[in-house]
Structures are given as structure tokens and as C-alpha cells.
């Protein structure tokens, strides 16, 4: 981004010297994303000035890329006419995103300056449940009829194409608007004028219901290599499309959510540097508190075996190693399964396959670690055979339990409708800690009496 920072002083100079023509040329060469980042560094008044110099479509695209706060500030400075011009250039799905983030008075002003049909469409999309296909779709697509010829189709595309988010894929519907096929612009342009849509359209069209979860929607883009996905209602009537840029955002957002949950953080939308200290604290605190209190059990187990520890203080020294190795073994399994579940490489039905595979891996890993540990205890720590035996066999059992717990808990969580990502390292560690300590002391009891 160094290139952009170099420009900044030039632009400030041009603003000061009122060289608007040069300014317009300079900033019009940017793409919306870089321009939005560039504008972030200017004062509000300069932003408005620069914004007014942009060609309308670039201005609208840049507006979409800005953060909510700056969008709000800009809307406040816009005249009604300017607001209408921006709204005019926006795609419906981007408008819905903006409306969702704005305070009520701004929303009111946006809707007041929209056409009635836009207003209705926005309200319609806002009515779909959060995170559903309906909530991320746009209603601007090209619909064709099967009896049209290529010439008819091209004429229709030319007529409504400018307002449609994509025309690369057009959808074919019957007389009651039911989705019956699709045809790509590529096919249209590579075909003879007199061909009919019916002859050329693909009928095995993949679609989703308006209420489908957005994570599933995003997965379908990856699975079927789509760039656009039609959204239909319960009667298979075409209501909109989801384009891949929105699916991409969903994929990134859902992945971030998974990673946050796996690290015991309540997911939230804003980028890290834009979150307040209090927001970060709020998203992390409950989990730390719950996990801290859960660790009380581990403390209670140790307290119960105080006598053993007082007699063999050396045993205390190996508690951290046992706990960490247990935690790590469990995290490996849970992270693998959680990721497998979200990529649909693993499903609940595979639970016995997973258990079988993990138990083999667990025994192999546990044995390797136990043997290395035993040799280290005997040769370097020189703790004596009994202690080495106690620590190493606890280690073996800990690894096996950790991998069993780590691999099954996420699957069970998903089965009963929880997000499997919660069953990651922190929870697994807390559970495995307690179990492995119990084994530690039981084995000590058996070996040392």
C-alpha cells in the first residue's frame, strides 16, 4: 500500500491549490477498494470533495467499500440529490448491507430517497432471517423464457443488463416464474441467432432455498465451482441470485468465526483494530471465566491427593507436561475434525470411522511419547523405575483419552445443533486435564501403594 501513501501529499496539495481537474484524473484511476482505503486518511470535508469529483459509478462502488462510520458521515453530508445518485448506482444487496448497519434516522433518509420498488425490495430482503440465502441475495438478475431466440435474449439482456448485478449467467423461468434452467452469456454469444433458449439452456440447475443457511450457500460455490447461485422460494419460484463476491465474504466471515470460537472468543464482525478495548474484553471474558471456574475441578482432584504429592513431590513436576501434552493431543484431533466438519469432509455418520482412526493414531502417538518420555526420565531425570513407569503410562492413557474426547465432542456438538468449533482446544484441555490427573493418581496408587 506504499504506492497509495505516496500519493496522499500530492492529493492534499491539489486540494489546496484547487487543481480539481488533475485531482479528478488522479483519483479516477483508482479501483474502489484502494480508493476507499485512500479516503480513510483524509478529513471529512476533503472526502466529500474527492467523492464529488468521482464518476458516479466509481463513487458508488467506493462508497460500498468504505466502513460504516464513514458511510454514515458521507450520507449526512450528501444533499438529497447526491444521495439519490449514489443509491441509483448501488446494487440492491449492497444497499441492504448498508441499511442494516445504519441508525434509524439515516435509514429513513435512504428509503425516502429510493424509488418505491427499491424500498419494497429492501424491505423484502430485510425480512429474511439473518444469515439466510434470502438475506444475502440480490433481486437484480436477467430472467429469460425458454421460447425466446438468441436474438430475443440479447435484446432483453441489453434492455435490463445495465441494472443487473451479473449477466454472465441468465436464468430461464416458466410462465409462473418457476426456475427451469440457466444459460450463460458465453453460450448465448457463441450460438446462432435463430437458436432458442430451450435448445441451449442447461436444465440441471443448482439452486438454494431462500431460507438456506449462508454457510451452506458459500459451500455450494466451492463444491460446484459456481460464480452465481439462484435463490428460489418453496415453490421453486425464482426470487434472486447470490453472487460469488458475497459468498466469498461469507466464507471469510464464517472461517473467522470458527477460528474465534476455537480460541474461546465470542465472534464479532468488526476488524480487530476497529474494536474497542471493552468490546474485545466482552468477547473474551465470559469464556475465560467459565474455563477458569471449570479448572476448579482439576484443583479439587489435586487437593484430594495432597498426601501422595507430599510424599512424592517429584510427581508434581510432571503435571504441567502431562496436562500440556494431553491438551495438545486433544487440540490436534478436535481442530482436524472441526475443519473436516465445516468442509463437509467428515459427517456425523462417520463417527465410528473417526473413532477407529483416532484410536490407532492415539495408540501410536501415545506409545511414541511414552517411550521417549520413559527414556528421558530414566537417563536424564534419573527418577527411578516406578516414577518413570507412572508418568509414562499416564502419558499414554492421557494421549488416548485426549484424542477420543477431541475427535468425538465436536461431532456430538454438531449432532445436537451446537457449533462444533466450541469443542476446541480450551474445552478439550479442561476436560482432559481432569481425566488425566485422575489417572495419574490412580496409577500412582497402584504402583506405589
Among 114, 139, 373, 444, binds a second copy (CB under 8 A): 373
When the beta carbons of 118 and 166 are compared against a second copy, the nearer one is 166
The CB-of-105 to a second copy minimum distance in angstroms stands at 29
Element (H, E) at 242: strand 238-243
Residues 60/86, Cβ–Cβ less than 8 Å: yes
Here's the x/- map for a second copy, 82-121, by CB under 8 A: it reads as: ----------------------------------------
- Beta-bridged to residue 143, according to DSSP, are 171
Q: According to CB under 8 A, which one of 6, 194, 310, 449 is a site residue for a second copy? A: 310
Report the nearest approach of a second copy to the CB of residue 325 (Å). Answer: 5
371 binds a second copy (CB under 8 A): no
| Region 25-64 residues binding a second copy, contact defined as CB under 8 A | 29-33
Question: Which range touches a second copy (CB under 8 A), out of 12-20, 101-109, 112-120, 240-248?
Answer: 240-248
For residue 107, the minimal CB distance to a second copy (Å) is 24
Q: How remote is the C-alpha of 184 from its chain's centroid?
A: 29
Give the interface size with a second copy as a residue count (CB under 8 A): 112
Q: What is the DSSP annotation of 269-327?
A: SS-GGGS-HHHHHHHHHHHHHHHHHHHHHHHHHHHHTHHHHHH-THHHHTHHHHHHHHH
Take residue 397 and report the three cell numbers written for it.
Answer: 492413557
The one among 47, 74, 95, 319 contacting a second copy by CB under 8 A: 319
Cα separation, 18 vs 286, in Å, equals 54
Checking DSSP bridges between strand 228-232 and strand 208-209, what pairing results, if any? parallel
Report how far Cα 266 is from the mean position of its chain's Cα atoms.
13
- 248 binding a second copy? (CB under 8 A): yes
Q: Which of residues 164-223 bind a second copy (CB under 8 A)?
A: 166-168, 185-186, 189-190, 203-204, 206, 221-223
Q: Which of residues 397-436 bind a second copy (CB under 8 A)?
A: 399, 425-426, 429-430, 433
Burial 418-437 (b: 16+ CB within 10 A, else e): ebbbbbbbbbbbbbbbbbbb
Task: Pick between residue 112 and residue 353 the one whose CB is nearest to a second copy.
Answer: 353
Closest contact distance (angstroms) between CB of 81 and a second copy is 26
Amino acid at each position: 500500500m506504499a504506492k497509495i501513501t505516496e500519493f496522499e501529499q500530492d492529493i492534499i496539495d491539489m486540494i489546496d491549490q484547487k487543481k480539481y481537474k488533475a485531482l479528478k484524473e488522479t483519483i479516477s484511476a483508482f479501483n474502489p477498494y484502494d480508493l476507499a482505503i485512500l479516503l480513510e486518511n483524509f478529513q471529512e470535508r476533503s472526502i466529500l470533495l474527492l467523492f464529488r469529483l468521482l464518476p458516479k459509478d466509481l463513487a458508488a462502488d467506493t462508497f460500498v467499500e468504505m466502513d460504516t462510520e464513514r458511510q454514515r458521515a458521507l450520507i449526512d453530508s450528501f444533499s438529497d440529490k447526491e444521495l439519490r445518485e449514489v443509491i441509483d448506482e448501488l446494487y440492491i444487496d449492497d444497499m441492504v448491507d448498508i441499511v442494516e448497519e445504519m441508525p434509524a434516522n439515516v435509514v429513513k433518509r435512504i428509503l425516502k430517497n429510493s424509488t418505491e420498488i427499491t424500498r419494497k425490495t429492501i424491505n423484502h430482503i430485510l425480512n429474511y432471517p439473518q444469515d439466510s440465502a434470502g438475506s444475502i441475495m440480490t433481486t437484480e438478475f436477467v430472467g429469460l423464457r425458454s421460447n425466446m431466440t438468441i436474438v430475443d435474449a440479447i435484446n432483453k439482456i441489453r434492455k435490463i443488463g445495465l441494472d443487473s448485478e451479473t449477466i454472465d449467467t441468465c436464468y430461464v423461468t416458466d410462465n409462473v416464474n418457476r426456475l427451469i434452467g440457466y444459460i450463460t452469456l458465453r453460450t448465448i454469444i457463441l450460438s446462432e441467432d435463430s437458436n432458442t433458449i430451450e435448445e441451449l439452456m442447461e436444465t440441471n440447475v443448482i439452486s438454494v432455498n431462500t431460507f438456506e443457511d449462508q454457510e451452506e450457500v458459500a459451500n455450494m460455490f466451492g463444491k460446484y465451482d459456481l460464480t452465481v447461485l439462484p435463490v428460489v422460494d418453496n415453490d421453486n419460484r425464482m426470487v434472486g441470485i447470490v453472487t460469488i463476491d458475497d459468498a466469498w465474504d461469507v466464507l471469510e466471515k464464517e472461517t473467522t468465526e470458527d477460528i474465534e470460537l476455537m480460541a474461546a472468543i465470542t465472534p464479532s464482525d468488526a476488524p480487530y483494530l476497529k474494536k474497542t478495548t471493552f468490546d474485545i474484553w466482552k468477547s473474551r471474558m465470559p469464556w475465560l471465566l467459565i474455563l477458569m471456574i471449570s479448572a476448579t475441578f482439576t484443583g479439587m482432584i489435586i487437593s484430594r491427593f495432597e498426601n501422595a504429592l507430599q510424599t512424592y513431590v517429584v510427581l508434581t513436576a510432571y503435571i504441567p507436561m502431562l496436562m500440556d501434552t494431553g491438551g495438545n493431543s486433544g487440540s490436534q484431533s478436535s481442530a482436524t475434525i472441526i475443519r473436516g466438519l465445516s468442509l463437509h469432509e467428515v459427517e456425523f455418520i462417520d463417527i465410528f470411522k473417526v473413532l477407529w482412526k483416532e484410536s490407532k493414531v492415539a495408540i501410536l502417538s501415545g506409545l511414541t511419547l511414552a517411550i521417549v518420555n520413559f527414556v528421558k526420565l530414566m537417563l536424564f531425570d534419573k527418577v527411578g523405575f516406578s516414577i518413570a513407569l507412572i508418568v509414562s503410562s499416564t502419558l499414554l492413557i492421557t494421549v488416548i483419552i485426549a484424542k477420543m474426547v477431541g475427535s468425538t465432542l465436536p461431532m456430538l456438538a454438531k449432532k445436537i445443533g451446537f457449533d462444533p468449533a466450541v469443542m476446541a482446544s480450551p474445552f478439550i484441555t479442561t476436560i482432559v486435564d481432569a481425566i488425566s490427573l485422575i489417572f495419574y493418581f490412580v496409577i500412582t496408587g497402584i504402583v506405589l501403594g
